[in-house]
Structure 1
Amino acid sequence: MDNSELTFRPARPGEQERILEIIGQAQAQMRAAGSDQWQDGYPARADIDADIARGAGHVLCRANGTIIAYGALFFDGEPSYATIRGAWTTAGDYVVLHRLAVADGEKCRGAATEFLRRTASLARRRGTPAFRVDTNFDNRPMLHLMEKEHFVYCGKIRCRNGERLAFEKRLLPPEKP
């Protein structure tokens, strides 16, 4: 994948249908793999609408504008991360990524990796020292991505419908503009 042709930006109103299509593809992939993650109607249209309204929803697009990945970035904390069975590697501010999904046809081509890298770059520019993610114990693609991108396993957190594995990556000092 030629990353120079990709755009990373906030999602816009009117893009929900494409985002939900991508999420539906991810749900089907998880279901086919036997995972319970995202099999209860989450994330739903209301979640994506709320992400976009808050400015948290982000997309990775091809040069022609086609959205190929979606995720929600939050810089104001995650309540379920306050209690962890284990320990975070950093204290203080962090970015958290939720709802990462990649379009069929783009999986295993670097889109998820690029989404993480662009998120980390944005966080560095904002002076945010850490990047946190949680996932289900059986989400093999995400677990592989965490290892590949050098996230550290920190422990387990409880979220809306169960326990999740929690990961963190320390970010280097802010990038120069």
Structure 2
Amino acid sequence: MKNYRFRPATSDDVPRILQIIAQAQRRMAAAGSGQWQNGYPALGNIVSDLGRGYGHVLCCDADSGACGQRASVAGRNDSETVVAYGAIVFDGEPAYDALDGQWLTAGPYVVVHRLAVSDEALGQGLGRAFLQQTERLAREQGVGAFRIDTNFDNRRMLHILASEGFVCCGKIRYESGERLAFEKRLGGITERG
């Protein structure tokens, strides 16, 4: 993750986060995916993430050339550009309690929701880097499992999850529809038997 910094998101980052999410929504629609096409995630989701300490960003030094073209963000004069956003949750996901399938592990887990990468930073492995940083945080907190879900037609995310060692464990349901649920063992917890 050379030239990138991983940190908690702040309220100053919200306009850029919303810009990145809008870009991801357009890419998903262009790829024929139904995910994130119903107004989610929205400003309220991001504000809630920040209020709960979930929101995290990957940033790059715009002067290094690693960001691609610098994104313009109103009110930001610094040389750091947010290029990816995600919500890192350590206190569970209620929908995961009703998994149609079987999780690999029992016990505490970390979840990432709302992961999005900016258009200008695509192809630089930032989605993968965000997941790796989440895994690092989980290990530091003694959490031995990483769970995540995505739409069945989100090919980009499905590819990243497979390459990062996640295993499909079944399906979950949200109001917006069914999602494939994945888990990766991080070690140090009891496996289901």
Aligned 1:13-92 pairs, distance under 5 A: 13-63=11-61, 64-92=79-107
Give the TM-score normalised by structure 2.
0.87
SS in 2 for 1:42: coil
Deviations 1:40-92 (A, max 9, x none): 10000000000011100000011342101000011000000001111000001
Map Cα deviations across residues 116-174 of structure 1 (whole Å, 9 max, x no partner). 0000000000001100000000000000011010100100001121110000001145x
The offset of 1:5, in angstroms, is: 2.0
Which whole-Å CA distance do the structure 2 matches of 1:106 and 1:95 have between them?
25
| Secondary structure in structure 1 of the residue aligned to 2:161 | helix
2:132 corresponds to 1:134:
no
Q: 2:109 aligns with which of 75, 80, 94?
A: 94
What code does the residue aligned with 2:135 have?
A: A
Aligned-residue CA RMSD in angstroms?
0.9
Where structure 1 has 5 or more consecutive residues not aligned to the other structure, the ranges are none
**Aligned twin of 1:161:** 176
Amino acid at match of 2:53: G
Aligned to 1:144: 159
- Structure 2: runs of 5+ lacking an equivalent: 62-78, 189-193
Identical residues among aligned pairs (%): 57
Q: Post-superposition shift, 1:4?
A: 3.0
* CA pair 46-131 structure 1, distance change in 2 beyond 3 A: same
* Residue in structure 2 matching 1:120, options 118, 121, 135: 135
Aligned to 2:6, what secondary structure does the other structure show?
Answer: strand
SS in 2 for 1:158: strand
Matches within 5 A, 1:96-111: 96-111=111-126
Larger radius of gyration: 2
SS in 2 for 1:62: strand
Count of aligned pairs between the two proteins: 171
Residue 4 of structure 1 aligns with an amino acid whose one-letter code is K
SS where residue 166 of structure 1 aligns? strand
Distance 2:175 2:3 in 1: 37
Give the structure-1-normalised TM-score.
0.94
How far apart, in 2, do the equivalents of 1:168 and 1:131 lie?
A: 6
3-state DSSP class of the match of 2:98? coil
Distance in 2 of aligned mates of 1:87 and 1:7:
35
